[in-house]
């Protein structure tokens, strides 16, 4: 039996009926543009083949029943229940979608069986799960399966997913992850305007390799919120000192025009937050240069920009960790990859490396052995595949 058939079989066993639809929602890596989505920056995420997968059917009741293989639990949600305070579990994601997604009509319940191969940290398993839930809930409420080409509805759902993370789960995350999961592919996304541009994939000659450090992202929640707060403090400081034009308020740091960047950095001269601002400005510039490098098929330049991005995230923004620094350094030391950087929020989880296809095996062996020797942890290296946005298929 295929894995898919096993899943459907288990669905029938659990819910005493066959599923009517299958749904798949990708994870994402971020090629470059890290920690700048929550201050209006331009980012370059890519949806990947690793995904959250689900099978579901409408159950004709108002209840939503969800089984997750990860926690091996079947949980029933009654949308009419008064909102409970967040529990700090996966159930908060469902409660958030059901509440903000206006799951109020009677008879819009569904049975959903969910599994995932997004186990490594930093590949956005939470946005992937949220994107899946948002699509299924929308389908249950309206009878409509949102087309992949319906960009405007997909962006609306992405904003809903972000709101759930911010308000129900309590993470002040940006728009990058849900937008990537719901729109799919490789793109530049302007996080202030939500305008995006699809990019040609990495050329066939090269692959982006996901390198899982095997280190959990224990500080991610607190460290992430701290960075968002620091950026907020910088923005306030700059706005309060804007004597040249009182009406111009740059509410989002990454959108500060070039001529004001130097001014802002001198204003922050003796402030410890200066290095954080320096990361935001330099990373924003690197995204633009990376888009150009991709357009010119200049993989050497792209690799160098990835290395610079990691250095800035590690030294100025302080969101790396010894293992992320090590695995990216090993990838560079191997002489087989063109550049490497952490991807996602950091503090553990995954890095990515740009590797010519002819070096894939040697790079994997070299990095795996060296990392294992130095840390005692066996890392997992996988060449990523670009994927489409989250989607539903009728069975």
Residues with active-site annotation: 177
Torsions phi, psi for 226 (to 5 deg) = -65, -45
Tokens linked to 20? 């009517």
65 has which bridge partners? Answer: 76, 111
Tokens linked to 95? 């409660």
Of 174 and 389, which CB lies nearer to ligand GLA in the complex structure?
A: 174
Which residue in 214, 257, 170 sits closest to 368, CA to CA? 214
Strands of 187-190's sheet in order across:
42-43, 187-190, 196-198
30 has which bridge partners? Answer: 45
Task: Give residue for tokens 């994601």.
Answer: 93
Spatial neighbors of 369 by CB under 8 A, at least 6 apart, are none
CB of 279 to ligand GLA, least distance (A): 11
Of 108 and 161, which CB lies nearer to ligand GLA in the complex structure?
A: 161
Instruction: Decide if 239 contacts 251 (C-beta within 8 A).
Output: yes
CB of 333 to ligand GLA, least distance (A): 25
Instruction: Decide if 344 contacts 30 (C-beta within 8 A).
Output: yes
Half-sphere exposure of 384 (CA within 13 A, CB side): 34
Which residue in 89, 77, 92 sits closest to 167, CA to CA? 92
Binding site for ligand GLA (CB under 6 A): 30, 34-35, 37-38, 124, 173-174, 176-177, 344-345
Of 68 and 162, which CB lies nearer to ligand GLA in the complex structure?
A: 162
CB of 227 to ligand GLA, least distance (A): 9
Of 43 and 370, which CB lies nearer to ligand GLA in the complex structure?
A: 43
CB of 298 to ligand GLA, least distance (A): 24
Length of the chain, in residues: 395
Strands of 21-30's sheet in order across:
73-77, 64-68, 110-116, 45-58, 21-30, 391-394
Instruction: Decide if 161 contacts 134 (C-beta within 8 A).
Output: yes
CB of 70 to ligand GLA, least distance (A): 19
- C-alpha to C-alpha distance for 376 and 373, rounded to whole angstroms: 6
Which residue in 11, 103, 13 sits closest to 63, CA to CA? 103
Of 242 and 316, which CB lies nearer to ligand GLA in the complex structure?
A: 316
CB of 37 to ligand GLA, least distance (A): 5
Of 42 and 370, which CB lies nearer to ligand GLA in the complex structure?
A: 42
């Amino acid at each position: 039996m295929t894995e898919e058939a096993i899943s459907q079989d288990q669905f029938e066993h659990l819910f005493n009926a066959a599923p009517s639809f299958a749904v798949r929602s990708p994870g994402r890596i971020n090629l470059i543009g890290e920690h700048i989505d929550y201050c209006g920056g331009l980012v370059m995420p890519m949806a990947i083949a690793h995904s959250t997968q689900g099978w579901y059917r409408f159950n004709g009741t108002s209840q939503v029943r969800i089984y997750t293989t990860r926690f091996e639990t079947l949980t029933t949600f009654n949308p009419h229940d008064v909102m409970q305070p967040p529990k700090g579990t996966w159930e908060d994601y469902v409660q958030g979608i059901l509440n903000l997604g206006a799951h109020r009509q009677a008879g819009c319940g569904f049975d959903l069986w969910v599994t995932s191969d997004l186990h490594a940290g930093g590949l956005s398993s939470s946005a992937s799960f949220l994107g899946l839930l948002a699509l299924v809930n929308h389908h249950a409420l309206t009878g409509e399966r949102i087309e992949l080409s319906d960009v405007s509805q997909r962006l609306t759902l992405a904003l809903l997913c972000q709101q759930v993370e911010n308000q129900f789960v309590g993470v002040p995350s940006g728009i990058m992850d849900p937008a990537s999961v719901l729109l799919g592919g490789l793109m530049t996304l302007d996080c202030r305007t939500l305008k995006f541009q699809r990019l040609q994939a990495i050329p066939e000659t090269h692959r982006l390799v996901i390198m899982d450090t095997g280190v959990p992202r224990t500080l991610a929640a607190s460290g992430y919120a701290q960075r968002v707060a620091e950026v907020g403090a910088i923005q306030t400081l700059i706005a309060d000192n804007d004597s040249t034009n009182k009406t111009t308020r740059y509410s989002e740091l990454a959108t500060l025009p070039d001529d004001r960047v130097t001014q802002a950095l001198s204003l922050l001269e003796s402030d410890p937050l200066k290095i954080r601002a320096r990361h935001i400005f330099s990373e924003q510039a690197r995204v633009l240069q990376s888009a150009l490098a991709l357009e010119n098929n200049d993989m050497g330049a792209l690799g160098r920009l990835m290395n610079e991005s990691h250095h800035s995230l590690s030294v100025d923004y302080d969101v790396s960790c010894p293992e992320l620094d090590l695995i990216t350094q090993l990838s560079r030391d191997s002489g087989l990859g063109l550049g490497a950087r952490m991807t996602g929020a950091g503090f553990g989880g995954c890095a990515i490396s740009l590797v010519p296809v002819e070096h894939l095996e040697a790079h994997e062996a070299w990095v795996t052995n060296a990392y294992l020797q130095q840390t005692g942890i066996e890392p997992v290296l996988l060449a990523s595949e670009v994927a489409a946005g989250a989607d539903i298929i009728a069975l």
